[in-house]
């Protein structure tokens, strides 16, 4: 399933090919977030034209709406959405966490898993989730209906959704959980991983599912505790999953996050792919790739567009704020070196106008540029790893390998 092509002499960075039933992903690769089987604002054909190779959708959201039976009856995610390329679905563990402990602790969504960081204030409140050994009970945010996710039900749901790579239900912890809680949640995640593997094995040859070639990854948990992360990586690696995802609380800072990867990645088998769940900044990409991450998902292209920002290499934090008054009559494209449909046809002034006027086309145009930006950055990252020049490329981007 995974073939390593080149490896850096100085870091753990590597290039490779991830083979899926719907095509090959060249790694390291950015996986665009298509929560509800859609990258907000941009249709699948346009995403493909941008060079994007993989999408990740969300089991929790698709289970609530439109429901996995609807998706399955239309040929799974590929038939349903018209995106014919490689796909992943996450297990819903993170969403359950967001409604539960994440809500109680005022930490949560992907953008700000670190307390006190992130774009939006966190609202604390009572947990909407009940966790037990059986699974997770929760209320739908769509209509208040009651649902239960178990390790087995989440495999069945993902078999019906039909993504190429699927993930087991896990219990995410918050950076504010203590070691004892994080330890017991990790052990539960391991027990759930065994149950998920067994459910996946029993359904391997079952007829009626849209994508028989699916692969199940394991998820490493353990919070920001070194011994727990090492133990989780060892236990999950021993379960012989098709690949591995690193999830949950990555600590209270970026430095914590890099330490978590330093403890985890070396314990995973080198011949299988490694996915980092939910990172966003350009600097993070260099630091993660240097630690041997092959794929990572990132909601930043659409989230930034929503906030009126687009990627620009030489701007502070690689962001150009389109609402900035100085751009009102700026006739240059976002990035003169970018080959995307937005940059080849439209000025910053026009995009500012669309953004301020709330035009729907703004959202599409900004997202197209942001996706293309990351696709090109990862092309450069792969070339740099092949030439063993990743640190030079990181310096050129004002980033470090951490
Ligand atoms: Zn562009």
**Tens digits of residue pLDDT in 134-180:** 999 988 878 889 999 999 999 999 999 999 999 999 998 888 889 99
Give the span between the Cα atoms of 347 and 336, in whole angstroms. 10
Instruction: Tell me which of 284, 297, 335, 391 is the catalytic residue.
Output: 297
Strands 274-276 and 295-298: parallel
Give the separation between CA 390 and CA 377, rounded to whole angstroms: 12
pLDDT at 241 over 90: yes
Catalytic pick from 90, 170, 284, 335?
Answer: 90
Distance between Cα 367 and ligand 1 center (Å): 9
Residue-by-residue DSSP string for 92-130: SHHHHHHHTHHHHHT--SGGG-STT-SSSPPPP----EE
CA of 383 to the centre of ligand 1 (A): 20
Q: Quickly state the pLDDT bin for 291 (edges 50, 70, 90).
A: very high
Mean pLDDT of 62-69: 96
Distance 72 CA to ligand 1 centre (A): 35
- Tell which residue, 39, 58, 248, has the closest CA to residue 149: 58
Question: What is the whole-number distance in angstroms between the Cα of residue 391 and the centre of ligand 1?
Answer: 25
Q: What is the DSSP letter of 326?
A: G
Q: Worst-scoring range by mean pLDDT, 140-144, 211-215, 323-327, 331-335?
A: 140-144
**Mean per-residue pLDDT, 91-104:** 80
Q: What is the DSSP letter of 42?
A: B
Residue 58: strand pairing partners: 90
Residue 5: its pLDDT value, please? 98
Task: Please state, in angstroms and rounded to a whole number, the distance separating the CA atoms of residues 60 and 154.
Answer: 9
Average pLDDT estimate for 280-296: 93
Å from CA of 227 to ligand 1 middle: 44
Q: Residue 98's pLDDT is what?
A: 79
Question: What per-residue confidence (pLDDT) applies to 94?
Answer: 83
**Ligand 1 centre and the CA of 339: distance in Å?**
6
State which residues have CB under 5 angstroms from ligand 1, the bound ion: 338, 340, 342-343, 369
Whole-angstrom distance, CA of residue 402 vs CA of residue 393: 14
Task: Read off the tokens for 236.
Answer: 């999950």
C-alpha–C-alpha distance, residues 58 and 38, integer Å: 10
Q: Is the pLDDT of residue 264 over 50?
A: yes
Q: How confident is the model at residue 107 (pLDDT cuts 50, 70, 90)?
A: low
Does 297 qualify as catalytic in the annotation? yes
Locate 88 and state its tokens: 């992943």
CA of 51 to the centre of ligand 1 (A): 13
- DSSP run (H or E) holding 372: helix 360-386
18-27, 121-130, 150-159: least confidently modelled range: 121-130
Q: Report the phi/psi class of residue 222: left, alpha or beta, with left for phi > 0 and alpha for psi in -120 to 50.
A: left
Residues 165, 87, 399: CA angle, nearest 5 degrees: 95
Q: What CA–CA distance (Å, rounded) separates 170 from 301?
A: 26
| Residue with the larger pLDDT of the pair 309 and 250 | 309
Reported as half-sphere exposure (CB side, CA atoms, 13 A), residue 162 has a value of: 28
**Is residue 143 among the annotated active site residues?**
no
Lowest-pLDDT range, 3-7, 78-82, 93-97, 231-235? 93-97
Q: Sheet holding 23-27: strands in order across?
A: 2-7, 14-20, 23-27
User: How close is the Cα of 347 to the center of ligand 1, in Å?
Assistant: 11
Nearest CA-CA partner of 346 in 365, 327, 363: 365
Q: Tell me, what's the pLDDT at 117?
A: 39
- Cα dihedral angle (54, 370, 289, 191), rounded to 10 degrees? -50
Residue 124 pLDDT: 65
Determine the average pLDDT of the residues in 288-301.
95
Identify the pLDDT of residue 123.
Answer: 52
For 364, residues 6+ apart whose C-beta sits below 8 A from its C-beta are: 41, 42
Question: Considering the entire predicted model, what is its pTM?
Answer: 0.94
pLDDT score for 377: 98
Residues 6+ apart with CB under 8 A from 4: 14, 15, 16, 270, 271
CA distances, 372 to each of 57, 62, 90 (Å): 19, 26, 23
Distance 336 CA to ligand 1 centre (A): 8
Confidence of residue 104 (pLDDT cuts 50, 70, 90): confident
Predicted local distance difference test score (pLDDT) of residue 232 = 98
Task: Tell me what pLDDT residue 99 has.
Answer: 80
């Amino acid at each position: 399933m995974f073939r390593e092509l080149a490896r850096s002499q100085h870091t753990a960075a590597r290039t490779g090919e991830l083979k899926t039933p719907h095509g090959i992903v060249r790694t390291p690769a950015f996986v665009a977030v298509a929560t509800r089987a859609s990258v907000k604002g941009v249709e699948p054909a346009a995403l493909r034209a941008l060079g994007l190779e993989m999408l990740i959708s969300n089991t929790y959201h698709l289970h609530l709406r439109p429901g996995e039976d609807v998706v399955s009856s239309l040929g799974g995610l590929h038939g349903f959405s018209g995106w014919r390329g490689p796909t992943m679905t996450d297990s819903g563990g993170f969403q359950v966490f967001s409604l539960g402990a994440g809500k109680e602790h005022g930490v949560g969504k992907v953008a700000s898993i670190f307390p006190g960081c992130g774009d939006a204030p966190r609202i604390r409140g009572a947990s909407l989730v009940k966790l037990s050994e059986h699974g997770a009970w929760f209320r739908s945010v769509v209509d208040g209906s009651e649902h239960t996710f178990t390790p087995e039900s989440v495999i069945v749901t993902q078999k019906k959704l039909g993504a190429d790579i699927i993930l087991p239900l896990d219990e995410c912890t918050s950076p504010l959980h203590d070691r004892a809680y994080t330890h017991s949640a990790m052990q539960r995640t391991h027990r759930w991983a065994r149950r998920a593997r067994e459910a996946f094995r029993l359904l391997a040859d079952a007829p009626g599912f849209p994508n028989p070639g699916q692969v199940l990854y394991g998820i490493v948990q353990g919070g920001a505790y070194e011994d727990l992360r090492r133990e989780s990586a060892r236990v999950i690696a021993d379960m012989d999953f098709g690949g591995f995802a690193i999830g949950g609380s990555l600590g209270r800072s970026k430095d914590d996050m890099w330490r978590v990867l330093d403890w985890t990645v070396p314990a995973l088998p080198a011949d299988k792919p490694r996915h980092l769940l939910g990172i966003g900044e350009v600097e993070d990409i260099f630091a993660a790739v240097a630690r041997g991450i092959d794929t990572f998902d990132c909601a930043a292209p659409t989230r930034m567009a929503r906030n009126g920002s687009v990627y620009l290499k030489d701007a502070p934090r690689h962001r150009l704020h389109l609402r900035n008054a100085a751009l009102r009559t700026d006739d240059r494209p976002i990035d003169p070196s970018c080959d995307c449909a937005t940059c080849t046809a439209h000025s910053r002034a026009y995009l500012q106008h669309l953004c301020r006027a709330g035009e729907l086309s703004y959202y599409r145009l900004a997202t197209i540029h942001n996706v293309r930006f990351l696709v090109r950055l990862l092309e450069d990252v792969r070339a740099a790893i092949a030439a063993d020049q990743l640190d030079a490329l990181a310096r050129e981007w004002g980033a470090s390998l951490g």
